[in-house]
Amino acid sequence: MQTPEFQGTHLFDRLCWAKETLEAVQSDYRVVYEDSIDECAKILVPDPNWMACALQGGILPPVWVYWELAKDEAQPDFKKHMRGHLLHQTEPIGPMTEEEAIEYLIQKDVPQHVWQNINDGNKPRLVICTKQQLPQTREWRNAWQISDDLATAA
Partner 1 sequence: MAGKIVADTLEHSTAGSIATNYVVNGSAKGWCSFDGTAGTPTFNDSFNGSSITDGGTGDQTMNLTNAMTDANYPASFLGNARSQFGTPTGSHPSASGCQIRSTNTSDSNADNSFVQIIFHGDLA
Site residues for partner 1 per CB under 8 A = 4, 9, 11-13, 15, 17, 19, 24, 26, 30, 39-40, 42-50, 53, 60, 66, 69-70, 73, 78-81, 84, 87, 105, 108-109, 131, 134-138, 141-142, 144
Instruction: Give kind and range of the element (H or E) at residue 102.
Output: helix 98-109
Nearer CB in complex with partner 1: 40/118: 40
Q: How far apart are the first and last CA of the chain?
A: 33
Whole-angstrom distance, CA of residue 11 vs CA of residue 5? 12
**Which C-beta is closer to partner 1: that of 21 or that of 122?**
21
Least distance in Å: CB of 154 to partner 1? 19
User: How far apart are CB 117 and partner 1 at their closest, in Å?
Assistant: 18
Give the nearer residue to partner 1 in terms of CB position, either 66 or 118: 66
Give the count of beta carbons closer than 10 Å to the beta carbon of residue 113.
10
CA distance 146 to 50: 26
Q: Cβ-count burial of 115 within 10 angstroms (0-12 exposed, 13-18 middle, 19+ buried)?
A: middle
Would you say 79 or 122 has its CB closer to partner 1?
Answer: 79
Least distance in angstroms from the C-beta of 116 to partner 1: 17
Amino acid at 82: M
Tell me the closest approach of the beta carbon of residue 146 to partner 1, in angstroms: 14
